[in-house]
Structure 1
């Protein structure tokens, strides 16, 4: 079930996407245009539409306990970012972006991208909560179109979900999807239960500190 975000939650997501844009640009070494996020609050794990996605799994350490979240990018656009990071051009740039699955060198670069994005969000959350929140990168997971990434949660647990259109020249727009916990709610750290996500199939395997697709 999805609900409308409060003004404060929309503000949190807007700041988060500003940080993501900066993280993407720092990693790619070139301009990445990112639009305003479309936001909702819900208790369902996000789904990438239309193509294989890479889920970048994150933990958010809050005063109330540890929460999980993730970022989703289409595989081809994530690979395009890695190619930009390696300063490839011409045929090499298109060849990397057009791969149907990451090669070994791509996996290393996807992990580097995940660490870069987590660092950008950690700086945002740390500034917003006097250093109490930290964001850590856990690893990558390849997710087929229409399936859920594996995000452990307890029943009824809610996230803020934002989708924003991004563009990396010379390619078409793509969606950046973020699923993050709301601000700390005062729950005691020991109350945070662990449960399996509800994404079916092999793509629902636990993420590791490696990139898979």
Structure 2
């Protein structure tokens, strides 16, 4: 803890420096860190292969996480500098879904252009996901949304198309939010995904 007694020889910090040290890492940093953790775990480097196995086998629909899954998610969260101490059960489940999704389908932010990475909507189009399926996904709410998203992730994995989890996590973390800010983030993310998908579709949908 920083001493408040400047006569003790401790260097003073500006307000900006103090804020920088305590600032919460960006969602982009957190997702990239979890993706790197899972890559390392898959190779058994700086992380246990058991952690990747536990997260890849995670059942998002299960009522409870196993001890191995909690341990793996905790290790991933520590790498991403996530503050798990204050997480609710719902928060644990949402981040568990994100870690599971990255383990299942990978993560590809894409080449950045003006700070904007690859759009999940364009990635859905690239994978040949049908308009009907995308419409059902984006119109769904609550438990149904997560069930449909899990199926879409499996489809993307089968087509070797990695989703942009920096964008997708915004929707996963804010779906069903009770506060206005969370609802706005979820709705804006849905609009961005839908716009990118329909803009990228060349013609009739391809899968059903």
TM-score, scaled to structure 2: 0.27
Higher relative contact order (CA 8 A, sep 6+): 1
Which structure's residues are more often strand, by fraction?
1
For the pair shown, the structure with the greater C-alpha radius of gyration is 2
Q: Normalized against structure 1, the TM-score is what?
A: 0.27
